[in-house]
Amino acid sequence: MFVKQFRTGGDRNFGYLVADETTKKAAIIDPSYSPEMIVEFARGRDYEIEYVFSTHDHFDHTNGNGVVARLTGKRALLFGMTDPETGVTVADGACFPLGNLEIQILHTPGHTNDGICIYIEDTVFTGDTLFVGKVGGTDLGPGAKAEYDSLHQKLFALPDNTRVFPGHDYGTAPESTIAHERETNPFFLQPDFEAFVHLKRNWEAYKKAHGIS
């Protein structure tokens, strides 16, 4: 599997290209502010774009979707949408074939109700659900609880060696692993949901005290 991470502008956004090297079938994830750059790179490697996914509906992740549709003929898929060619709906546990690979959808609400993470082989693209050393912004009520459950029940059920590619360059590195996040991410070092919310409420003070940017 080939994975290319792109710095797409905006608020340190990341976009991604994933491909099966054998069949040259590829998918774009969150093209955001630089759709032409990603499509041009894919064409340079003779990849055929099969899918375009948005991890959630915020503008900084979807604003390149129209350009990608024009360039590739592929409409971006968000949670709840059905791919016209495969007939598969973007829902929790749904699988999309990509050459010899399989794309699995994880519904991870919290930051938004329609948030998804995209799991392929040993790699997960986490959008704004999980960052390196941080988590997505939520309210301190239902949104926080949904995110807490998404993180613990979905992402931290993945194998330790799973590579984590986030939607923004907000951490100390552009990627991580599930094991590293479990061991070092302050939100996962909290013993329960109440402590998780307490950290969210006091995040600015925590960052200042621990030298986190």
Give the residue numbers annotated as catalytic, written as ranges: 56, 58, 60-61, 111, 128, 168
Count of CA atoms in the C-beta half-sphere (13 A) of 208: 4
CB 85 within 8 A of CB 72: no
**CA–CA dist 84, 12 (Å, integer):** 32
**CA–CA dist 152, 148 (Å, integer):** 6
CB 24 within 8 A of CB 46: yes
CB 55 within 8 A of CB 115: yes
Helices first, then strands: H and E counts in the chain = 7, 12
